[in-house]
Amino acid sequence: TQLLEQSPQFLSIQEGENLTVYCNSSSVFSSLQWYRQEPGEGPVLLVTVVTGGEVKKLKRLTFQFGDARKDSSLHITAAQPGDTGLYLCAGARARGSNYKLTFGKGTLLTVNP
Amino acid sequence: NAGVMQNPRHLVRRRGQEARLRCSPMKGHSHVYWYRQLPEEGLKFMVYLQKENIIDESGMPKERFSAEFPKEGPSILRIQQVVRGDSAAYFCASSSDGNTEAFFGQGTRLTVV
């Protein structure tokens, strides 16, 4: 059973476009993290969201945690080729268990110049 | 580089051989986690260790897999009698405690031939 569903699975856009990727679950998470992974590398943490409804911004990236803490979205404004990568969401099911993350399969984003 | 260090980056083993994967956590981190990323799958939690202790091994296969984090030296993930299905990327992460954000290494890509 895949607890975290990410959509779309693949996304190819032109430089300068905006995009949103989604991370959905029927389960509640105490926190949710977004990572970016490049080919041959490990995941790099972008942000952690903890509170339902929370919105965090990281330059051109905006992360939102759903009110019920079951879903999250990542919005990128004016995408650049350097944004290309696999975007992973990962949730911790209970406080004190942030080490035991449940990962989605990711959205593979390609930004074409 | 003060990040999580994993070696080797690539490992090729014949069926039936043993694979040893090493992970040195970030400086000051005493909590280590191992995850496995199978082709077309998301990262899956395997085991959580502190120095000389296994805290949670609920994600470890029951046979052939073991992990340790000795008082001195890196954490080791050992796979005995490897089979083709063990081919995957194995990632190590570390944190300062079990409830703070973890940082991932670059991974070891194991290929069983």
CB contact under 8 A, A45 and B103: yes
Strand A19-24 and strand A10-14: pairing? unpaired
Q: What is the pLDDT of residues B12-61, one digit of tens each?
A: 999 999 999 999 999 989 999 999 998 778 899 999 999 889 999 999 99
Torsion sign, CA atoms A10, A15, A19, A24 = positive
Chain B CA closest to residue A41: B106
Question: Mutation test of the interface with chain B: which of A4, A37, A99, choosing the one with the most B Cβ atoms within 10 A?
Answer: A99
- List, in order, residues 6 or more apart from B85 with CB less than 8 Å away: B112
Residues of B with CB under 8 A from a CB of A: 4, 6, 31, 33, 35, 40-45, 48, 56, 58-59, 91, 93, 95, 98-107, 109
Token pair of B75 as six digits = 């954490």
Residue B101's pLDDT is 82
Whether the pLDDT of residue B2 is over 80: the answer is no
The string of DSSP codes covering B12-59 is EE-TT--EEEEEEPPTT--EEEEEEE-TTS-EEEEEEEETTEEEE-TT
Tell me how crowded residue A14 is: count the other CB atoms within 10 A of its CB.
Answer: 10
Three-point CA angle B89, A83, A28, nearest 5°: 65
Residue A100 pLDDT class (50, 70, 90 cuts): confident
Residue corresponding to tokens 């959205």: A107
Q: What is the pLDDT of residues B84-112, one digit of tens each?
A: 999 999 999 999 887 778 899 999 999 99
Beta bridge partners of B54: B49
Q: What is the pLDDT of residues A30-53, one digit of tens each?
A: 889 999 999 889 999 999 999 999
Q: How far apart are the first and last CA of chain B?
A: 32
Token pair of B25 as six digits = 């956590």
Q: B61: cis peptide before it, omega within 30°?
A: no
CB contact under 8 A, B103 and A33: no
> B15-30 burial by CB neighbour count: b if 16+ within 10 A, else e?
eeeebebbbbbbeebe
Residues of A with CB under 8 A from a CB of B: 2, 4, 33, 35, 40-45, 48, 88, 90, 95-106
Size of interface A-B (CB pairs under 8 A): 68
Residue B1's pLDDT is 47
